Amino acid sequence: MTLKQRFKDIEYARVGNFGNDVSTPRTRRLAMWHFYLFDHAFLRDLWQNLWEIAPGVWRSNQPSPKRLKKYKRMGIETVLSLRGDPNKRISFMLLEKQACEELGIELITTSLSARSLAQKETYLDLLDLLETLKKPFLFHCKSGADRAGLVSALYLLHIEGASIDEARKQLNWRYMHLKSTKTGVLDHMLDCYEADTKRLGDMPIRTWFESHYDRAAITSTFNPLWKHS
């Protein structure tokens, strides 16, 4: 086994009981150590990247159990994690699931990538989900920069009827989103949506996903600045 693979095993908690369980004080303590060291939660204690993008709609980075208690006091009813299946036995998923159950917060999950585009059906399902989430709600990814930024933009476009210029502001360096990296593919998707509305006429973002979104074509025309550095 390579050193890189061994590190990945630790990072994703595939080694013994390290971060695999939160049902006892000992395993919860191990999961917290894993969460803070390997999921970089110690950095998120310093900056939560917490913003209200619309009345009762918040975005942030991955919350700790302590922060979820704070959000419950704020009135948060629902948390949407953009980081994938909560049944995977990884520390941040286990801790978030346990905390939400204890606090009476509904936890919903979906899976998005910060560096690649999703299938059309994933975005359509996401738009449907955003219509039904009980407010006040919060959605998050790991850092609150890229996936949370895209979902913020889609929420403003689909639910609030915002302009593309207003929605695009959710993908910004102030949230630690860097357009010049591979995550710029998210900005490029919004640029393609805007180009199609100028060429074909105004259309809702849902209509665009249904009829004009082409994952492969958008990805192939993405030309990130890092390639020229």
DSSP state of 45: T
With H, G, I as helix, E, B as strand and everything else as coil, classify residue 104.
coil
State pLDDT tens for residues 17-46: 444 667 788 877 788 778 767 777 676 777
Model pLDDT, residue 81: 96
pTM, full prediction: 0.86
| Contact predicate 176/143, CB 8 Å | yes
* Residue from 156, 222, 161, 160 nearest 189 by CA: 222
The 10 Å Cβ neighbour count of residue 18 is 17
Model pLDDT, residue 224: 75
pLDDT of the chain, 229 residues: tens digit per residue: 454 454 455 555 443 444 466 778 887 778 877 876 777 767 677 778 999 999 999 999 999 999 999 999 999 999 999 998 656 668 888 889 999 999 999 999 999 999 999 999 999 999 999 999 999 999 999 999 999 999 999 999 999 999 999 999 999 999 999 998 999 999 999 999 999 999 999 999 999 999 999 999 999 999 876 554 4
Domain annotation for the chain: domains and CATH numbers: 1-38 (no CATH), 50-228 (3.90.190.10)
Which helix (H) or strand (E) segment holds residue 149: the answer is helix 147-158
User: Which residues, 6+ apart, have CB-to-CB distance to 96 below 8 Å?
Assistant: 62, 63, 65, 68, 79, 81, 86, 107
Which tokens sit at 123? 């975005």
Q: Looking at 73-221, which runs of residues are DSSP E strands?
A: 78-81, 106-109, 137-140
Model pLDDT, residue 150: 98
